[in-house]
């Protein structure tokens, strides 16, 4: 019987290893391990053995079954993967081909600056207010205390739409709309587009961007204005950046000032960027004129406020070393691609 067992196993191993297909293998499985297989028949013959011989031989048969079963499982796997390989060879899919490159988009430099400015002011306790690009004369000029004969109202400077509507010439009308709707304390910024009938050159564009700020409460002072500006420029351009104000005139603020920051290229020593002055112009500022409060129904005896407007294109150009404002509006992919890694 031992001889039988050996012969059965050797024959089975040979046939299993030589099997050419899955159906063939399944047939072999049932003929070697099924109820009618020789191994199962051998089991029946255990009866003919002595009780001493039985356990060892029974175990030998079971071990043989285990060995064959493993062999069949292994062969099954290798036949399956050979089948898959064969299918792929016959199809047009080339698994060795490199993947298709996909392009990662990028945010526009102005969008990056826009978000950064909002983050800085939000961290200082301001909220973001939105206005509209098309305004009326009242909000763009009248309520901002701008006289009827002020040159900025001129057709040569302002784009009029129709019925005394116009493309806002600054973001300051958002001051008026905010004060019309809310009572102090008011602390808002408003970034957005503005339009002026300017000739296009490296530093002028008929459409540009400003960020307006307005803070109205009891006892708001010029010192608050300076402090807010200082904190903003340090957060935006880094420690050591200074701001300064120079006397100026705006109809809607009194006193009014122009804002400069220390040159971010040379740190204030004087270079080509700042035309050797050490300072860069950033925008206008001042204390809200009582006449402006009057137009919006805020009590100028009780409240004071400051406002300022900064050029966002200017900030983006300085921050990203862009020399020509037109670059911001051309949407040249070669430029935009350089901002891929700046995305937030």
**Contacts to ligand PHE by CB under 6 A:** 170, 172, 250, 253, 283-286, 307-309
Q: How far is the CB of 189 from ligand PHE (least distance, A)?
A: 11
Which CB, 16 or 194, lies closer to ligand PHE? Answer: 194
Which CB, 114 or 252, lies closer to ligand PHE? Answer: 252
Which CB, 268 or 286, lies closer to ligand PHE? Answer: 286
Please state, in angstroms and rounded to a whole number, the distance separating the CA atoms of residues 168 and 173: 8
Which CB, 268 or 309, lies closer to ligand PHE? Answer: 309
How far CA 94 is from CA of 84, 85, 98, 101, 175, in Å, comes to 14, 12, 9, 16, 63
For every residue of 56-79, which 3-state class applies, written as one string? HHHHHHHHHHHHHHHHHHHHHHHH
Q: How far is the CB of 258 from ligand PHE (least distance, A)?
A: 8
Which CB, 8 or 288, lies closer to ligand PHE? Answer: 288
Q: How far is the CB of 157 from ligand PHE (least distance, A)?
A: 12
Query: How is 229-296 classified by DSSP, letter by letter?
Result: HHHHHHHHH-TT--EEEEEEEETTEEEEEEEEEE-TTTTTS--TTTTTSSEEEEEEEEEEPHHHHHHH
* Number of residues assigned to the chain: 344
How far CA 155 is from CA of 6, 142, 149, in Å, comes to 109, 16, 12
**Structure tokens that stand for 66 in this block:** 């285990």
Closest CA to 314 of 160, 210, 207, 224: 210
Which CB, 29 or 170, lies closer to ligand PHE? Answer: 170
Q: How far is the CB of 250 from ligand PHE (least distance, A)?
A: 5
Q: How far is the CB of 119 from ligand PHE (least distance, A)?
A: 21
Q: How far is the CB of 308 from ligand PHE (least distance, A)?
A: 5
């Amino acid at each position: 019987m031992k001889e039988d067992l050996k012969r059965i196993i050797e024959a089975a191993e040979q046939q299993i290893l030589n099997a050419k297909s899955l159906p063939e293998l399944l047939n072999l499985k049932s003929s070697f391990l099924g109820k009618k297989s020789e191994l199962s028949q051998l089991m029946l013959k255990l009866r003919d053995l002595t009780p001493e011989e039985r356990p060892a031989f029974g175990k030998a048969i079971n071990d043989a079954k285990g060995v064959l079963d493993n062999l069949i499982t292994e062969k099954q796997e290798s036949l399956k993967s050979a089948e898959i390989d064969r299918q792929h060879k016959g199809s047009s899919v080339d698994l060795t081909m490199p993947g298709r490159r996909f392009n990662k988009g990028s945010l526009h430099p102005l969008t990056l600056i826009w978000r950064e400015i909002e983050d800085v002011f939000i961290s200082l306790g301001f909220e973001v207010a939105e206005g509209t690009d098309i305004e009326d004369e009242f909000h763009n000029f009248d309520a901002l205390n701008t006289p009827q004969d002020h040159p900025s109202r001129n057709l040569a400077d302002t784009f009029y739409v129709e019925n005394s509507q116009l493309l806002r010439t600054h973001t300051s009308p958002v001051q008026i709309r905010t004060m019309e709707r809310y009572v102090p304390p008011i602390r808002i910024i408003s970034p957005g587009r503005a339009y002026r009938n300017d000739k296009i050159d490296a530093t002028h564009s008929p459409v540009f961007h400003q960020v307006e700020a307005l803070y109205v409460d009891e006892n708001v002072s010029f010192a608050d204005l300076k402090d807010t500006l200082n904190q903003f420029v340090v957060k935006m351009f880094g420690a050591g950046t200074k701001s300064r104000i120079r006397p100026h005139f705006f109809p809607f603020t009194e006193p009014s000032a122009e804002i400069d920051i220390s040159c971010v290229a040379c740190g204030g020593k004087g270079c080509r960027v700042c035309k050797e002055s050490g300072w860069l112009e950033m925008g206008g500022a001042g204390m809200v004129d009582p006449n402006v409060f009057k137009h919006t129904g805020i009590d100028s005896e009780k409240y004071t406020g400051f406002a300022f407007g900064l050029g966002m294109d200017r900030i983006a150009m300085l921050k990203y070393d862009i020399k020509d404002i037109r670059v911001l509006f051309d949407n040249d992919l070669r430029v935009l691609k350089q901002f891929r890694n700046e995305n937030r």
